[in-house]
Amino acid sequence: MSFPWAEQYTPVNPLMKWVDDRLPLPRFVYNAVGAGYAVPRNLNYWWNFGVLSGFALVLQLVTGIILAMHYGANAGVAFDSVEHIMRDVNGGWLLRYAHANGASFFFIVVYIHIFRGLFFGSYKAPREMVWLLGLVIFLLMMATAFMGYVLPWGQMSFWGAKVITGLFGAIPVVGEPIQTWLLGGFAPGNAALNRFFSLHYLLPFVIAAVVILHIWALHIPGSSNPTGVDVKGPQDTVPFHPYYTAKDGFGLGVFLIIYALVLFFGPNMLGHPDNYIPANPMSTPAHIVPEWYFWPFYAILRAFTFDFFFVPAKLLGVLAMFASILLLFVLPWLDTSPVRSGRYRPLFRKFFYLLLVDVAILGYCGGAPAAEPYVMISQIAAAYYFAHFLIILPIVSKIERPLPLPNSITEAVLGHEPAAVAAE
Amino acid sequence: MATVETSETAVSAAEGEGVRRRDFINVAAVAFAGVGAVAVLPTLINQMNPSADVLAAATTEVDLSAIKPGQAIKAVFRSQPLFVRQLTPKEIAEADARPVASLRDPQSLEERTQPGKKQWLVTMGVCTHLGCVPLGAGEGEVRGEFGGYFCPCHGSSYDTAARIIKGPAPKNLEVPEYKFTSDTAILVG
Amino acid sequence: MVRLLAALVGIFFSGMLLYSFGSGAVAYISEPPVPTVEHEFHEHPRQIAWSFDGPLGHYDKQQLQRGFQVYKEVCSACHSLRLVAFRDLKDLGYNEAEVKAIAKNWAIKAPDIDPKTGEPSTRAPVPADHFPLPFANNVAAQAANNNAIPPDLSLMTKSRHDGSNYVHSLLTGFGPQPKKLLEEFPDAKTPNGLHYNRYFANLNLAMAPPLTAEGQVTYGPGQPKPTVDQMAQDVSAFLTWTAEPKLENRKSAGIAVVFFLLVATVLAYLSYQTIWADKKH
C-alpha cells in the first residue's frame, strides 16, 4: 500500500476474484495484514505487542459476549449471577476467569506496546496520528475496564465506583451534579450498575473501530523500526505475511503460555479478595485500591496533599491524574529530536530507563495503603513523571548529541560491508 | 487461510532438500494452531446448554389426592405446563373404543399410562404442533370435540387419552417420564 | 508555544508535589507516626501444606467430608452457606441417596409457602436447594449474635488474603491478650463480648472460639483424631472447596492446555525460523 514495491493482490481462486471485483475486501485484508504490507525487516520482539493487543481485544470481546448471556445486570442479582457462572454454567468458571485475567493481560501487552513506542520514538512524525489514536484507545480501555470491574458488584466494585465517580465531585460548582448524574443516584446503585453494563458492552466495539483507524493511520507511513531510520528501498522490507505472521504466531504462543499459567494456576492472583464480598454500602474495605493497571495513576491522584490557594488538593489530584495521561497527546511536539530511536540517543535513554523505574514505583505506591512513607515516595515519583515529559524531554532533545545513525535499515542489519548490501 | 501456500512461495527460492522439511514444519504449526482453535469451540458452545442448577430443578412432585375423576390440574415441569388428569370410566371407555390403527400417532391408552393406573393421564401441556398450551385442563375450559384437549392456536383436538385426532399437530401430547412414589403422588422427571 | 506551556504545567505540578513532599517529610520527622496495636500484634496466617496446593493439587475427599461434618455440627448454627447447593455435595463423594438424606435431615428448613393458606411455612430441603439461611435476615442475625452479623462462608477462603491458611489460623488463634500488648497499649484491652485473636485484622473478634475441645466432633472410623487443629484444617479445606468447587477441573485443564501450548509454540518457533532462514535480520 505504502511502498511501490509492495506485492499486489492477485486472486488465484476465481471465487476470490469474483468477490474482489465487487467488494475489494480480500484486497483490503491482503494489504493490511497480508503479503501486501511491506514491513521493515529488522523489527524486534517488542513489535509483537501490537498484534498481541489486538488478540487480547478479541479475547475480551468473545468471552465478554458469552458472559453477558449469563450475567444479571441488577444490583440484587449481579453478585450471585457471577457466582452462578462460576459454579453452575458449563465451563463458566473458565470463561469468567479468562475474561477477568484477560483484562489484566490486555493492559500488560498495551503497556509494553506504549513503552515500546516511547523508547523507539514511534510517536514522531509522520506517525503522530497513530500515536494519538493509540492514546484514544488507551483512554477507552481504561473506561471500559473500570466499568467492567464494577459489574461483579463486590465490595471493591461498589467502593471503586464510589471513589472514581467521586473524582468528578472535585470539579467546582458542577462537580456534584455531574457525579449524581453519572450514578443516577446519590451513591452507586442499580441505576449505576445498569448503565455501566450497557457502556461496558458498547465501548469495546468503539475500541475495535478506533483500532481500525489506528492501523489505517499506521499503514500510511508504514511501520517504524528499531533504528528509526526511514525505509529506503525494497531491500529494507519484507512482506508482512509470511514473515511477521510467523513471528507473531510464535509471540502469540509465548503470550498464551504465560496467560494460561495465570488463568489456570493463579486466577485470583491479580484480583482483590474483597471483591468476593458482596457490595455493602454500610461498610468500607480497609484499603480501597483499583485494579493493578490503574495503580500509577491512583498514586498520582493521592500524591497531592496541599491546597494551592483556592484550588483544593482533591481537585489538584484529579487534574494531575488526567494531565498525566493527556500530556501524552502533546508528546510528539515536546520531543523535537529528529532522531527517533532511543538506541541512538544516549541521554534520552538514561531518562527513559529512569521513567520506567519511576512508573514502577508509582504503581507500587498506588497499590499500597495511603500512609507514609508511600505517600512521600509517590510525591517524588509523580514529580519526576511530570518533569520527565514536560521539562526534561524538551531540554534533552535540544542539548543531546545523538550517535551516528546507520544509512539504511539493511546496512544496520548486515553491517557496513558494501558487498553484503549490494548482494541484497 | 492461505498460510501454507504462501509460505511455499516464500521458501521456493531455497533449493531441493530443505523444502520438504520446511513445509512440514509450517504445515504442522498451522495445523496445531487450528487444532487449538477448534479445541476452544466446545467450551464456547457448551456454555449455552442448561446449567447445573437448571438440571437439578428438573424434577417435579405432584400430589394427586385432590384431583377428582374427570378433573385435571396444571403443574409446572421444567418450566413448562404439565397436565395431570384423572379419567372417568366413561372417558377410559371412549379412549379404548378408538381403533389404535386409525390414529395419526398410534398409541393405546395403556401405553400412555402406568400399569394398573389407567385412570391417571400425565402429559405435557405443550401442543405438538407449535408449542402452545392446549385448553382443557382448567376448570370450565373447552375440551374440544373429542373431550380431551383443544389447542386454540391452530385448532388441534386431542381425545381423552390426549392423542391427536384432528388438526395440524403431528403427535400425541408427550407423556413425560414419571413414577408413582405412593398411591397419591407422582415424581415427574 | 506548546513547549513553553508544557514547561509551565510541568513546573506547577512538580513544584506542588515537591512542596507536598517537603512538608510531609517535615511532619514525618517532627511527629513520626505512632505504631498501632494492629500493626504490632497482628500476625499473618501460618502456612499449612494442603492437598490442593500446587499445579497438581487435588481435594482430599475424606478431608472435605470431615470438614463438612465440622461445618454441619459447629458452624452452620450461625454461618450460612448460601451459594452452595446440597446437590454440590456429590463432589465430596456422597452418592445421590446420601445427598438426599443430608438435605432432608438438615436442621434448618427451607422457606416455603403453604399451598392452602399462602402463609409462609417451611419444608425439608431437597438436593436442588441451596443451604438454607440460619437467620431470616441481617437484623435477626445481629439480634441473635451480640450485634455482629456472622458472615456467609461460601466464599470465605477467597474473600480473605491467603484464605485457606487464614481460616485455619483464625480458628486456632484465639487466646488471652499478650502481656506485652497491654503494657505497650493499655487502651487496647479487648472489650467485653469480643475475643482476642492474633490473626484477625483488628485483633478483636465477635465470634467466640468455635472449636474448643478435642473430640467436639466425632469422626468416623479410620479418620484422624479430631483435635482442634485437625478440625480447623478440615473445615478450612471444606471452605476452600465451597469457594472454588471447580479447582480440580481448573488445574487438570491447565496442565493439558499448557502442555499443548508448549508444543504449539515450539512448532511456531521452528516455523518462524524456517520462514526467516533466508533473511538476515
In terms of domains, do B43 and B68 share one? no
Last residue of a domain, one of B12, B27, B49: B49
In terms of domains, do B21 and B88 share one? no
Question: What residue spans of chain C are helical by DSSP H?
Answer: 2-30, 37-41, 61-73, 96-104, 138-144, 163-172, 179-184, 228-243, 247-275
Q: Which CATH number fits the domain that encloses residue B121?
A: 2.102.10.10
Contacts B18 to C, Cβ<8 Å: 277
Q: What's the CA gap between C206 and C197, in Å, rounded?
A: 10
Last residue of a domain, one of B49, B72, B89: B49
The answer to whether A245 contacts chain B (CB < 8 Å) is yes
State which residues form the domain around B2: 1-49
Percent of chain C, pLDDT > 90? 83
Tens-place pLDDT, residues A17-55: 999 999 999 999 999 999 999 999 999 999 999 999 999
Chain C: closest CA distance from residue B86 (Å): 21
Q: Do C270 and B7 touch (CB under 8 A)?
A: no
In terms of domains, do B98 and B171 share one? yes
In terms of domains, do B139 and B161 share one? yes
- Provide ipTM, 2 decimals: 0.94
pLDDT at A419 over 70: no
CB-nearest to A394 from C3, C13, C264 is C3
CB-nearest to C274 from B22, B30, B39 is B22
Question: Which residues of B participate in catalysis according to the annotation?
Answer: 154
Please answer whether residues B172 and B184 qualify as being in contact, where contact means their C-beta atoms are separated by less than 8 angstroms: no
pLDDT at A223 over 60: yes
pLDDT at C136 over 70: yes
Tens-place pLDDT, residues C89-130: 999 999 999 999 999 999 999 998 887 889 999 999 999 999
pLDDT at B7 over 70: no
In terms of domains, do B42 and B64 share one? no
What is the structure's pLDDT at C257? Answer: 97
In terms of domains, do B78 and B167 share one? yes
CB-nearest to B13 from C264, C271, C278 is C278
What is the structure's pLDDT at A285? Answer: 92
What are the cell numbers at C275?
A: 520462514
What is the structure's pLDDT at A278? Answer: 96
Most confident of B121-125, B181-185, C26-30: B121-125
Q: Do B25 and C261 touch (CB under 8 A)?
A: no
In terms of domains, do B117 and B33 share one? no
What is the structure's pLDDT at A36? Answer: 92
In terms of domains, do B80 and B167 share one? yes
In terms of domains, do B42 and B134 share one? no
What are the cell numbers at B89?
A: 370410566
Alpha carbon distances (Å) from C201 to A225, A373, C39, C161: 52, 21, 9, 11
The answer to whether C25 contacts chain B (CB < 8 Å) is no
Domains of chain B: total: 2
Test mutation, A156, A241, A386, chain C, max C CBs within 10 A: A386
A172: exposed, middle or buried (Cβ count in 10 Å: 0-12, 13-18, 19+): exposed
Q: Which residue of B has its CA nearest to A93?
A: B47
In terms of domains, do B182 and B102 share one? yes
Q: Do A242 and B43 touch (CB under 8 A)?
A: no
Please answer whether residues A27 and A9 qualify as being in contact, where contact means their C-beta atoms are separated by less than 8 angstroms: yes
Q: Which domains does chain A have, with CATH numbers?
A: 1-36 (no CATH), 37-423 (1.20.810.10)
Could you give the angle at which helices A190-219 and A25-33 cross, rounded to 10 degrees? 80
Catalytic, A223? Answer yes
Q: In three state form, how does the secondary structure of B131-143 look?
A: CCCCECCCCCCCC
The answer to whether A8 contacts chain B (CB < 8 Å) is no
Q: Do B47 and A66 touch (CB under 8 A)?
A: yes
Q: What's the CA gap between A30 and A208, in Å, rounded?
A: 19
User: What kind and span of H or E run contains B95?
Assistant: helix B89-97
Contacts A42 to C, Cβ<8 Å: 281
Q: What's the CA gap between A322 and A386, in Å, rounded?
A: 12
CB pairs under 8 A between A and B: 44
CB-nearest to B10 from A95, A242, A249 is A242
As a whole number, mean pLDDT of residues B67-96 equals 91
Q: Confidence class of residue B18 from pLDDT cuts 50, 70 and 90? A: low
Residues within 8 A of A (CB atoms), B 125-144 only = none
In terms of domains, do B40 and B109 share one? no
As a whole number, mean pLDDT of residues A204-232 equals 96
In terms of domains, do B164 and B99 share one? yes
What is the structure's pLDDT at B11? Answer: 42
Q: Do C127 and B32 touch (CB under 8 A)?
A: no
What is the structure's pLDDT at C33? Answer: 83
Residues in chain A: 424
Tens-place pLDDT, residues A346-364: 999 999 999 999 999 999 9
Q: Do C267 and B22 touch (CB under 8 A)?
A: no
Catalytic residue among A99, A104, A157, A248: A248
As a whole number, mean pLDDT of residues A304-329 equals 91
What is the structure's pLDDT at A287? Answer: 87
pTM for this predicted structure: 0.91
Q: Do A333 and C3 touch (CB under 8 A)?
A: yes
Chain B: closest CA distance from residue C274 (Å): 6
Catalytic residue among A53, A104, A223, A341: A223
What are the cell numbers at C226?
A: 479430631
